[in-house]
Structure 1
């Protein structure tokens, strides 16, 4: 059963109250204890939270109700991820942290940051069974906009917003301050690359690094019943000792290497693909955060030496580690 941090639902509780609904009563009816909203260790079942979203969508008559969500959420609702986000050196490194750790907040949603040409495009990968009505997409994108403005400033404007629902008379262009494309394949936020790599005024490497450690500890403690999640955790545990093998990870998970590969194939992936994915996510996060030197990053990502790490990094990103690191500095 997938879960999410109860603190991450505080914004939705505020949103319900904002629209004149009895938030506490609705939470209780959905089987969610509102007293747990401020418990940083508590988690709600995702199916109940999503049932509450659907109920709210039925009761709120304003079709534009999701756009207000950004004003209701706070980065600190995301536990240590929010603090690490606020202390990041650039918007790019901030979203790399979200990409790396968002499953701690919501288990079955992932965030992907993709660089194309001169743009950083931030996409939330949402499962097909999650709410897909227009306000659900508006909530996710208005929250992403709020996160950007919390670290960059209220004058932040995206380059473009893509929404995976038809046009509605909600003044989207005025709200986001940029062109908005509707009926997109995925909802996404596009940011000019020079803006994404501009040094942020509140950057604090020590604070970001200490919260990264908290997040890594949370990730290890979080029970993930998916084979991919368990493989990711095992890979991260073993990387400082070098490149882990499928056999090594299989032993740690108490299955045979053949069974491990078969289970991963059923999920449409492979051990090598997941190993590369984990290494790349860690590498980009560490380079963008500017928290560690190249030798330390090489060790943390399981490479034999810095040249081997640099070759892999350039293969993944098309850029050298030094190019990306220079881009994060003023």
Structure 2
């Protein structure tokens, strides 16, 4: 079974990635590739859509060195995969010498070609329009010298009006008022005290009830967050994708994920089953990878579920992830060795 990895291209260009295939021994001439996703078993078609029958895509530009096949692939492969990078994909290679397959592992962040935009195309348009307009630019300075003269006149005119000082007429009445009565400061202090008491009374009597209501509202979001990955949350969710996103954001334990998967199986919500399995297993959850491997293992496979058929090679792939992250899992190690025979 091949070990296939995909990461962003060294050039960083959106829509391009570097494909690496470990264990390929059949040469690099006339290679063809087919891609199958595990959610519904559909294959990547010629037009980027997902069809029920396999389509073989010519795979050029890859170089083989010591059973390691590597090279750059373009938007024809990157764009369909980046629509749902958390999905598990099975890739099969073939040429005249033989064929082999493996589960794709997507490493890091890869951008689709849509992220590139049309900035380069727009810049060229701007440059072409700017050239003919340069002949008109020298005419503009001839019109500019006249505005400064009226501008200075307009500024000097209003300056003379603010020079009429009317402020000194206001202060003289205020001076005798302060001298007429010595009780004025006491009256002002009393008024200020009354206002301060009124404000304090309004704050404690009228504002206090609103603060009592706020704590009662805060527990609700906490309860919802705890139920983000549970059987009840799954039954309440109408869309699988929104539930999966909320479930994964809550950072659930392996036990929680397995419980949700069991409920999703009974409800025939296979999209939830496949995506939770694939995401948690690829992220290094040994328990989930082990359970996912048993779904495909011919020795443990049961029909009527979300896995259409047993597949020893797919089971080997998930057993390897389980063993790599949990070397003490003796059953996973034993089944992996038995399937390799």
Per the TM superposition, whether the score is higher than 0.5 is no
Q: Which has the higher helix share?
A: 1
> TM-score of the superposition, structure 2-length normalised?
0.25
> TM-score of the superposition, structure 1-length normalised?
0.25
